[in-house]
């Protein structure tokens, strides 16, 4: 049972997690660089400032992927009584490896909740963010059953749906399912900026496609760099598909165009 | 004043237009290939089946761009008393040119409402679809003032916001603002299909980026082919931006990645 949790980083994910855990009666302690957020969470009765003077069951590193590794290194000496150490990052190999190397692999489980949107920071955080959301759990080679159980409990408690996935498989899949769409959206945004087209010139469709281009550059630079070996083949595949479309447009071959568009629609799953 | 209108094609756009005009007291006649939709519109008291036995003020060709040209040719002899002939297609040069060549340029104004989503057909049509939506109006070289005024009235009446734009400028802008996002979404969908990633594996962000991949292949094959000369340079620009991102990912240069992502975010307009 989780009675207390320390959440470091009160951004969209950490802040929302703090709100939901507090609402479930968990004693939440909050830390991180954003002192105003920590203060606001304290004033709203959501979390007390983290001092490490009280023991906690769970530590959640709710900071970008590179910062999470550094934080883990910084905190490893303070987390002796902690039963579960987890994170919320979009890549899993690097943090899982780091935990293993620091000798805390037995108590570490990487988490990646598929929740949130392009906004960031405490002001964007809210209750119910994880309701129905998938959360990938990536154990280390030495994660103990108790830690994995606590990780399941942590996320299930606030309505998320855990799915255990080995870190390498997670990073491969997410390169396609999340990192590639982000790259596509950013590339499109940059092309439109260059062409002098404003986002307000777009219809609903164009706005959908470019929405995540508004995501945090700091967070995404870390993710794309951290998962580079998996992201590169995905980028190459997208380029090939764009070229196939380009050839069909250039040739004026409507049948081929229809075929390419239809296969996209079939994948999407809303055939007529 | 618009007292009567013939709408040919009861898809998402034509069907929604019929609903809204009928609600404003316009006598609506409906035609088109989808006989079940024409019947449904009649049963629901929205529109009577179009027979051309009664005069109409306005004719709206609410069919895909290539079909609209053919329909115009077919109907040109029947539209003598009609004061405004318009369409709803996503490209404007070809239909405006066709109207001019058929000698009905004086009464023709091309329309392109930025409304709708990836769904299509009468079942997707609904009232209020055009509320607050921008609608581009592209006159011919010989459009008369009365026809342009009626086109404004048609769309303003149902809550849309008309903006007059020369057909060539329209097609150039829309190649970027609408046709390129569609191509990007379809290319991404195809890459994901190939990689064995289902749409249900995606988070909110990925789902946004791939939403319009579910659009009608028939409609979009026509649009992309019809606007090929403007779409090709847009596709090239997107490919260049993808390659720039690829180089940054491959080099592991986080500063460069941050810079590329930040310019996308700046364009998006939600800086922190």
Among the partner residues B212, B215, B224, nearest to A249 by beta-carbon distance: B224
| Angle (deg, nearest 10), helices A217-226 and A180-194 | 130
pLDDT at A270 over 80: no
Final residue belonging to a domain, choices A165, A182, A215: A165
Among the partner residues B220, B254, B264, nearest to A190 by beta-carbon distance: B264
Statement to judge: residues A216 and A125 lie in one domain: no
Tell me the average pLDDT of chain A.
96
End-to-end CA distance of chain A: 48
pLDDT at B94 over 90: yes
Is B268 an 8 Å CB contact of chain A?
Answer: yes
Statement to judge: residues B176 and B160 lie in one domain: no
Final residue belonging to a domain, choices B109, B134, B165: B165
Show which of residues 155-184 on chain B sit within 8 Å of chain A, judged by CB atoms: 173, 176-178, 180-184
Residue A119: what pLDDT?
Answer: 84
pLDDT at A144 over 70: yes
Cβ-defined contact of A242 to B240 (cutoff 8 Å)? no
Residue with token string 């995905």: A234
Statement to judge: residues A202 and A106 lie in one domain: no
Closest CA to A266 of B187, B213, B179: B213
Q: What is the CATH number of the domain that holds B33?
A: 3.40.50.720
pLDDT at A116 over 90: no
Look at chain B and report how many structural domains it folds into: 2
pLDDT tens digits for B48-61?
999 999 999 999 99
pLDDT at A231 over 70: yes
Is A217 an 8 Å CB contact of chain B?
Answer: yes
Final residue belonging to a domain, choices A165, A184, A202: A165
Statement to judge: residues A88 and A215 lie in one domain: no
pLDDT at B249 over 60: yes
pLDDT mean over B68-91: 96
Residue A272: what pLDDT?
Answer: 41
pLDDT tens digits for A178-226?
999 999 999 999 999 999 999 999 988 999 999 999 999 999 999 999 9
Statement to judge: residues A128 and A57 lie in one domain: yes
pLDDT tens digits for B186-196?
999 999 999 99
pLDDT mean over A162-190: 98
Residue A271: what pLDDT?
Answer: 44
Render the burial of A52-81: b for 16+ CB within 10 Å, e for the rest.
eeeebbbbbbbbbbbbbbebbeebeeebee
Is B36 an 8 Å CB contact of chain A?
Answer: no
Closest CA to B32 of B103, B122, B110: B122
CA distance B20 to A9: 49
ipTM for the whole complex: 0.90
Statement to judge: residues B180 and B57 lie in one domain: no
Nearest CA in chain B to A215: B265
CA distance A136 to A210: 25
Among the partner residues B211, B213, B270, nearest to A214 by beta-carbon distance: B270
CA distance B135 to B17: 13
Least confident of A146-160, B110-124, B153-167: B110-124
Residue A132: its chain B contacts at CB < 8 A? Answer: none
Residue A233: what pLDDT?
Answer: 98
What are the DSSP calls for A131-171, one per residue?
A: TT-EEEEEE-TT--HHHHHHHHHHHHTTT-EEEE--HHHHH
Residue B260: what pLDDT?
Answer: 98
Statement to judge: residues B148 and B253 lie in one domain: no
Is B119 an 8 Å CB contact of chain A?
Answer: yes
pLDDT mean over B32-38: 96
Among the partner residues A203, A241, A270, nearest to B187 by beta-carbon distance: A241
pLDDT mean over B133-153: 97
Residue A268: its chain B contacts at CB < 8 A? Answer: 118, 189, 199, 210-211, 213-214
Residue A264: its chain B contacts at CB < 8 A? Answer: 185-187, 189-190, 193, 213-214, 217
Residue B272: what pLDDT?
Answer: 42
Q: What is the CATH number of the domain that holds B263?
A: 1.10.3660.10
Residue A165: what pLDDT?
Answer: 98
Residue A39: what pLDDT?
Answer: 97
Statement to judge: residues A203 and A146 lie in one domain: no
Residue B119: what pLDDT?
Answer: 85
Statement to judge: residues A64 and A94 lie in one domain: yes
Cβ-defined contact of B193 to A246 (cutoff 8 Å)? no
Residue ranges making up the domain that contains B27: 4-165
Residue B118: what pLDDT?
Answer: 79
Q: How confident is the model at residue B271 (pLDDT cuts 50, 70, 90)?
A: very low
Statement to judge: residues A133 and A159 lie in one domain: yes
pLDDT mean over B230-255: 98
Two tokens at B10? 């009861």
Among the partner residues B210, B241, B248, nearest to A181 by beta-carbon distance: B210
Two tokens at A171? 């990073």
pLDDT mean over B18-37: 97
pLDDT at B270 over 90: no
Statement to judge: residues A176 and A139 lie in one domain: no
CA distance A242 to A238: 6
pLDDT at A268 over 70: yes
pLDDT at B70 over 60: yes
Statement to judge: residues B128 and B240 lie in one domain: no
């Amino acid at each position: 049972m989780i009675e207390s949790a320390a959440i470091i980083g009160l951004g969209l994910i950490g802040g929302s997690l703090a709100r939901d855990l507090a609402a479930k009666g968990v004693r939440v302690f909050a830390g991180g660089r954003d002192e105003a957020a920590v203060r606001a969470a304290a004033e709203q009765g959501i979390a007390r400032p983290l001092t490490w003077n009280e023991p906690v069951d769970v530590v959640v590193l709710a900071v970008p992927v590179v910062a999470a590794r550094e934080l883990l290194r910084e905190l490893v000496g303070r987390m002796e009584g902690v039963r579960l150490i987890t994170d919320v990052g979009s890549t899993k190999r690097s943090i899982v490896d780091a935990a293993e190397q620091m000798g805390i692999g037995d108590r570490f489980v990487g988490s990646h909740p598929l929740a949130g949107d392009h906004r960031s920071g405490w002001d964007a955080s809210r209750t119910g963010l994880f309701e129905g959301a998938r959360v990938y759990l990536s154990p280390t080679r030495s994660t103990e059953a108790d830690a994995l159980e606590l990780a399941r409990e942590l996320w299930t408690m606030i309505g998320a749906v855990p799915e255990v996935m080995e870190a390498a498989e997670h990073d491969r899949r997410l390169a396609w399912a999340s990192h590639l769409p982000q790259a596509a959206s950013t590339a499109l945004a940059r092309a439109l900026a260059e062409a002098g087209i404003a986002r307000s010139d777009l219809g609903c469709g164009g706005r959908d496609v470019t929405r995540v281009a508004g995501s945090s550059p700091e967070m995404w630079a870390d993710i794309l760099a951290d998962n580079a070996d998996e992201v590169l083949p995905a980028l190459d595949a997208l380029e090939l598909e764009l070229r196939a479309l380009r050839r069909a447009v250039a040739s004026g071959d409507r049948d081929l165009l229809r075929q390419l568009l239809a296969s996209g629609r079939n994948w999407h799953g809303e055939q007529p």
